[in-house]
Amino acid sequence: MTDWLKYIGLFLLVMFLQVMLLDNLHWLGLIHPFVYIWAILLLPIELPRWMQMFIGAAIGGLMDLNAHTPGVHMAACVMIAYLRPLLVASYVQDIQRMKGAITIKTLSPGNYLQLLAIIVVVHHSLVFFLEAFTFRHFGYTLLQILLSGVLSFAFILMFEYLRKNT
């Protein structure tokens, strides 16, 4: 029960940061970090996978409402919610025995960084390409993915670090 309260608290905090701060920064019109995907990374791994995907769809849908991009974040979030258990299963022997959020502590730092990098790249690629909905400005979209991805990666690591120390 307290785990769920803690999760909801973190979820609200990270959504607040995303909507109030990061969505309002215009870094050259190019860089737009999405740290809210941390909320999907923190979902308890023992939840049934279909439920993880539905929660992912709901979180993405919320972001879409806020960003006026119907379906874009939803598609990306469902994809990473589907991939996360598969990725975790490839790192650990017995995923059935794992409980709670996936963090640096539950995986080794190396594995966690790898997981985070894959999730961020998949999510950002889907978001930026679906939003552009064309391959005409391919280089520009790639640059968006790269720069925003690096920043999201750094932010989420920072959150992980802060969480570990509190």
Partner 1 sequence: MRNLLQLILRYSNFLLLVGLEVVAFILVVRGNRYQYVAASGAANGVVASVQLVCDNIVSYFRLRSDNAQLLEENAQLHADILTLQNSLEQTTQVTDSTDVPYTFADRDYTFIPARVIAYRTDRHHNYLTLNKGARDGLTPDMGVIGKDGIVGVVQSVSSHFAVVAPVIHEGLYISSMFRKNGYLATLHWHMPDTRSAALEDVARHVDVEVGDTIVTSGMSAIFPADLPVGIVSEVSLGEGDSYYDIGVTLATDFRSLRHVHVLQYTHRAELDSITNR
110 counts as binding partner 1 under rule CB under 8 A: no
CA–CA distances in Å: residue 147 to residues 14, 72, 109, 139, 157: 20, 19, 23, 12, 16
Q: What is the dihedral of CA 88, 93, 96, 101, to 10 degrees?
A: -40
82 counts as binding partner 1 under rule CB under 8 A: yes
**φ, ψ (nearest 5 deg) of residue 31:** -100, 125
What is the contact mask toward partner 1 in residues 9 to 28, using x (rule: CB under 8 A)?
----------xx---x-x--
Shortest CB 151 distance to partner 1, Å: 14
Nearer to partner 1, 113 or 130 (CB): 130
Q: How many residues does the chain have?
A: 166
Note the residues at the interface with partner 1 (CB under 8 A): 19-20, 24, 26, 29-30, 32, 49-50, 53-54, 57, 60, 64-66, 68-72, 74-75, 78-79, 82, 130-133, 137, 140
